[in-house]
Amino acid sequence: MILADALRPSPDRTWDYAIQTGIKHAVIGVPWNPPGTTPNGSFDLTSYADWKALYDLYESRGLRPVVVEGAPEPAHESIKRGDANRDQSIETVLNYLPILDKLNLRTICINWMPYKGWYRTRNNIPARGGALVTGFYQEDIPDAEPLLITQQELWDNLAYFLKAVGPSLEKYGVKLAFHPDDPPVPRLGDVERILINKGNYEKLLNIVPSAFIGITLCQGCFCAMGEDIYDIITHYSRREKVFFVHFRDIQGSPHSFCETFHDIGPTDMVRCLELYRDYGFNGPVRVDHVPTMAGDDNSRPGYAAVGRLFALGYLKGILDALHYPYS
């Protein structure tokens, strides 16, 4: 496994914790510009110099970038929505793929959730010892009209995109790792969703069959779907479709769930890692969605520094105990 941590493109305490924990790989974020601003804002997605400077920022601290997460929103939001800027945005993607190749950045974690990203209705649910976790409760977000996007439109936009970029993914050796919808529900207020179950993942993988189109196996999302997480890991590891792992757990169902500490959720996390190991998974992994613990404020629910530190240590301890090699 390649043990990595998601680190924002400006060094902060989470960088220090990652480095001090022995992490040597980074899941990098591209400086983000809100939708509606210029497509690329101050960071030009088609500029090698801009990508190289970003790469060097991480590298200078001993963190080798291995995954781009998420797929840069300024380019991808229009593609997901299928709006008037779609073709121009696809052009941008086609222009940055060779740059990623040059930097040996082989994986993009992408989601297919336009308009709303990962979504929670509660951010301060008490967990062990007063730590705080996030949760999703469908009753908190009633259906609204008109729908901004339907399932059919999402599928159509996805097929349009994959057909446009598929050959370039192969040419430049860059993998697209599709993250599940979070929450994995068919409808979220005024938008619909598609990456919500195994059946739809099978459909996704059949649109443009390619060794460069696969999955971000966010364990918490597949658990929330009600899928058998051990079957999911086995099935997609065998097919070499696991491009990236999000180590995470939840309790509940698609329409009603909350996050858990990694060590006390319903999932047997040791068994999950045994399965990745036994099927020879050697790609990147990162911890995902952690509780906010004492010492952190709750300004970044799911991504607080101390909770992350605990999760990293827990993951590393299991890997060592299993003699699962990682770098």
Q: Which is nearer to Mn ion, 161 or 222 (CB)?
A: 222
Which one, 57 or 250, has the nearer CB to Mn ion?
250
Q: Which residues of 36-49 are buried (b: 16+ CB within 10 A; e: fewer)?
A: eeebbeebbbbeee
Minimum separation from the CB atom of position 243 to Mn ion (A): 13
User: Quick check: 68 and 9 in contact, CB under 8 A?
Assistant: no
Q: For the CB of residue 102, give the shortest distance to Mn ion in the complex, in Å.
A: 28
The first and second tokens of residue 72, run together, are 């840069």
Shortest approach of Mn ion to residue 258 CB, angstroms? Answer: 15
Provide, rounded to whole angstroms, the least separation between the CB of residue 86 and Mn ion: 25
- Contact between 110 and 70 under an 8 Å Cβ cutoff? The reply is yes
Residue 248 beta carbon to Mn ion: minimum distance, rounded to whole angstroms: 6
Q: Number of residues interacting with Mn ion: please give it, by CB under 5 A.
A: 3
Interface stretch with Mn ion, choices 26-34, 216-224, 263-271, 290-298 (CB under 5 A): 216-224
Residues 191, 217, 218, 309: which binds Mn ion (CB under 5 A)? 218
Q: What string marks each residue from 268 to 307 as x (binds Mn ion by CB under 5 A) or -? A: --------------------x-------------------
Exposed / middle / buried, residue 129 (Cβ in 10 Å: 0-12, 13-18, 19+): exposed
What is the closest distance, in whole angstroms, from the C-beta atom of residue 118 to Mn ion in the complex?
7
Asked whether 242 and 283 are in contact (CB, 8 A), the reply is yes
* Nearer to Mn ion (CB atom), residue 97 or residue 269: 269
Judged by beta carbon, residue 80 or residue 246, the one nearer Mn ion is 246
Closest contact distance (angstroms) between CB of 178 and Mn ion is: 11
DSSP secondary structure letter of residue 149: B
Query: Cβ closer to Mn ion: 25 or 246?
Result: 246
The Cα 23–Cα 16 span in angstroms is: 10
Closest CA to 216 of 269, 284, 156, 271: 284
The answer to whether 181 touches 221, Cβ cutoff 8 Å, is: yes
Cα–Cα distance for residue pair 214/243, rounded to 1 Å? 6
Figure out which of the listed residues 241, 246, 277, 286 binds Mn ion, where binding follows CB under 5 A: 246
Sequence letter at residue 67:
V
Of the candidates 6, 40, 47, which has an alpha carbon nearest to the alpha carbon of residue 23?
6
Q: Which residue number, 90 or 242, has a Cβ lying nearer to Mn ion? A: 242
In degrees rounded to 5, what are phi and psi of residue 210?
-160, 145
Amino acid at 62: G
- Pick the piece of the chain touching Mn ion (CB under 5 A) from 21-29, 107-115, 199-207, 210-218: 210-218
Q: Which stretch binds Mn ion (CB under 5 A): 79-87, 139-147, 215-223, 231-239?
A: 215-223
Which secondary structure element, helix H or strand E, spans residue 252, and what is its range? strand 250-253
Rank residues 249 and 288 by Cβ distance to Mn ion and give the closer one.
288
Site string (165-204) toward Mn ion, x via CB under 5 A: ----------------------------------------
CA–CA dist 302, 124 (Å, integer): 10
The contact set with Mn ion (CB under 5 A) reads 218, 246, 288
